[in-house]
Structure 1
Amino acid sequence: MADELHPGVIFDVDGTLLDTNYLHVVAWIRALRAHGHHDVTMQAVHGAIGIASGDLVEHLTGAADEAISQAHSDFYQPFRDDVQAFPHAADLLRACREAGLRVVIATSGDKDDLDWMLPAIGVDQDVLDGVTTSGDVETAKPAPEIMQVAMEAAGLDPKRTVAVGDTVWDVQAATRAGIRCVALTCGGISEAALTNAGAAEVYAVASELLRTLDTSLLSSLTRRTQDD
């Protein structure tokens, strides 16, 4: 059937596939302090990672300020050479694809960021069935739009789709989109916080999820539900 929906997995990038969260924290702190916000702590910034730039600034300072977002981009640029993928992140994507899942990336970053993110992860476009970025949506995580757009674009069945992320914002966005979320603690958010946010399963890092893929929630996605 032309309109048949497919099982799939939607991956976040920063802090999930790429070890970038703490680099972003430093870039944001420098940007905030450069614009007079010396009262914002690194802990507060870390807790806000995963929200799109404009919303993150408003979340931390109480007001939107595009200049701070641009300063973050400027401070972060030199850090790209330090970005590494978490161990076996690319292997996890390939394993999901080989298991019969459509593999989709949904990132709060810009479309241009994919030019360096995908090589950093170590995957080619042909491994992916779709990519959704901040430019494709009007509202950022924890709003569900990025998950909804990603599912619609890739033809995913919400009943057989799981998000994989590392922040409470990922979990909340997935839940609001009507899908479950498998969370990883490698981005620096605790297992307790992710579980309390509603994560269905929590693993340490991509390599652990890969190692236990056959017994994880993802393994059930290729089996049709009784309602289908």
Structure 2
Amino acid sequence: MTTKAIIFDFDGLIFDTETCELKSFEQLYEKYGVSFPKEEWLKLVGTISTYDPYETLTKTLSQLKKKDLMAERDALFEKIVEGETVREGVKEYIERGKELGLKIAIASSSSRRWIEKYLGIIGLDTTLFDVICTSDDVENVKPDPELYEKVLSHFGIEPNEAIVFEDSANGSLAAIRANIPCVIVPNEVTKGLIFDERVALRLNSKKDMELDRVIEFVSARQ
């Protein structure tokens, strides 16, 4: 079936906020001489979790207050983000998608405010996307398929008429549960995660394969 839309995750896929977040937590923990529970933190990448990444610090050093640590971590994150930019190949995929007449969307477990802020920081206008579906728009975020199902409904297309681009295990599982072919492009943080064997294709970077070839490859598998 003809591909009519491409759907991008945001964090870690369009803009690698995930690596910046990890660095900020590692720097925060290092300051206080406590080992950062990276494996636990990795489980929440691409979703919203009840896991508290500050708990190990506050339990180890009872004098530390979570609200102060959050402010400190946020400052570290913003400093790390300075100078960062869109992941390679993203702009080319968007431009080529438009040339091919494809609908282009973002489906993210983050809030609209977050996405709009960081799209601005990396110089991507929100008008490049036909729809941006966020945690504000659904009851359940990834790995639940609701975000992706909502995008399909917005465009009025079938699952096999779209291709999802994801970087995380939780995100790719959401796409798979929505029955949409999923191409994974892991970043430095997510490249070691275990992905569902049903992903259609794995790339190290969008520079590895032009969008036309990705569409041809995915279409041939259906």
Q: TM-score range by the shorter chain?
A: 0.7 to 0.9
For 1:48, which of 27, 34, 44 is the aligned residue? Answer: 44
In structure 1, stretches of 5+ residues that fail to align are none
User: What is residue 146 of structure 2 aligned with on the other side?
Assistant: 145
Bigger Rg, which one: 2
Offset of 1:166 from its aligned partner?
0.5
Do the aligned partners of 1:19 and 1:85 also contact (CA within 8 Å) in 2? yes
Amino acid corresponding to residue 104 of structure 1 in structure 2: A
Offset of 1:68 from its aligned partner?
10
Q: Taking every aligned residue pair, what percent have the same amino acid on both sides?
A: 20
Is 1:57 equivalent to 2:55 in the alignment?
A: no
User: What is residue 129 of structure 2 aligned with on the other side?
Assistant: 128
SS in 2 for 1:185: coil
Do the aligned partners of 1:89 and 1:206 also contact (CA within 8 Å) in 2? yes
Determine which structure has the larger helix proportion and give its number.
1
Offset of 1:175 from its aligned partner?
1.0
Once superposed, what is the RMSD of the aligned Cα atoms?
A: 3.4
For 1:215, which of 213, 216, 219 is the aligned residue? Answer: 213
* Structure 1 residues 98-121: Cα deviation after superposition (integer angstroms, max 9, x where no partner): 122211011222111233322344
User: What is residue 177 of structure 1 aligned with on the other side?
Assistant: 178
Do the aligned partners of 2:133 and 2:147 also contact (CA within 8 Å) in 1? yes
Offset of 1:153 from its aligned partner?
2.3
Offset of 1:197 from its aligned partner?
4.3
Is 1:24 equivalent to 2:21 in the alignment?
A: yes
SS in 1 for 2:132: strand
Do the aligned partners of 1:129 and 1:154 also contact (CA within 8 Å) in 2? no
Relative to 1, partners in 2 of residues 1:175 and 1:99: Cα closer, same or farther, differing over 3 Å? same
Query: What's the TM-score once normalised by structure 2's chain length?
Result: 0.75
Please give the alpha-carbon distance, in whole angstroms, between the structure 1 residues aligned to 2:82 and 2:148.
29
Counterparts of 1:1-228 in structure 2 under 5 Å?
A: 7-28=4-25, 41-52=37-48, 55=49, 57=51, 76-190=77-191, 193-194=194-195, 196-209=196-209, 211=210, 213-217=211-215
In structure 2, stretches of 5+ residues that fail to align are 56-65
User: What is residue 63 of structure 2 aligned with on the other side?
Assistant: none
Aligned residues: 207
Relative to 1, partners in 2 of residues 1:96 and 1:121: Cα closer, same or farther, differing over 3 Å? farther
